[in-house]
Amino acid sequence: RYINNLLIEMHGKCGSVDRALEVFRSISRPNSFSWNILIAAYIQNNRLQEAERIFSRMPCKNVVSWNAMVTAYAHFGHMEQAAATFESMPEKDTTSYNAMLTALVESGYIARAEELFDKIPDRDPVSWSIMVAANAQAGYMLKALDLLESMPGQCVFAWNALLSGYTNHGKIEEAKKLFERMPQRDSVSWNTLMSAYAQLGRFHDAKSLFDRAPQRSLITWNIMINACAVSHRPHEARDVFDRMPRRD
């Protein structure tokens, strides 16, 4: 029953693995989703050892279970364990490769990530975005741009990754130019540039983007409030706060 699976997930996200486990045990025949959600619950609550134990006891592991463990090892800083798990996978899909790419990038192994990227049988837009983001974060802007241009199709995530590469390296004017010539923009694009202005104390630039943004997420509002705080405008911060919709 998938209602029970949702319950396991909910308890996991609320930080109560014990309740999640309780629900899991109450299911007469847990399917692979139930197992995977339970493992994810332990991982999200920083209980890697127990997640590992459940994984090893799982009767029919599927590719999602393996992918989750690769990602978990990476997030806990166990890169070599992630690599070993990845190597021993009975089958890999593109998400497996993408998870391993991210693991390598998180640990700073950009060259190894690049090697793996070249071996992916079916690269998807996520694979490309990971590589664009990796290079942009490392400050290899030309390489990132080159990847972006050789990527088939367009992907706003990849463009946003390049944009934040510029802002994170203090290249605000480059960022602005890129923003203006991006083939598509979403609220993350607007947020990225707005946040950069805010952090530089350029309140009016941030405000003008905020006013022109086609859609505002909760993050957009928070960035604007932060822009007010940084430039010592408590009253404007309060005004922005009061204008926030109840939920988005």
Partner RNA sequence: CCUUGUCU
- Binding residues for RNA, rule: CB under 7 A, are 2, 5-6, 9, 31-33, 36-37, 40, 62-65, 67-68, 71, 94-96, 98-99, 101-102, 124-127, 129-130, 133, 155-158, 160-161, 163-164, 186-188, 191-192, 195, 217, 219-220, 222-223, 226
Instruction: Give Cβ neighbours of residue 192 (< 8 Å, ≥ 6 apart).
Output: 160, 163, 164, 167, 175
Query: Residue 219 Cβ, how far from RNA at the closest point, in Å?
Result: 4
Query: Residue 73 Cβ, how far from RNA at the closest point, in Å?
Result: 11
Q: Which CB, 16 or 217, lies closer to RNA?
A: 217
Q: Which amino acid makes up residue 77?
A: G
Query: Residue 121 Cβ, how far from RNA at the closest point, in Å?
Result: 14
Residue listed under structure tokens 């190597």: 87
Q: Which CB, 10 or 236, lies closer to RNA?
A: 10
Give me 162's structure tokens. Answer: 């390049």
Instruction: Give Cβ neighbours of residue 153 (< 8 Å, ≥ 6 apart).
Output: 125
Query: Residue 2 Cβ, how far from RNA at the closest point, in Å?
Result: 3
Residue listed under structure tokens 């480059």: 174
> Are 241 and 226 within 8 A, CB to CB?
no
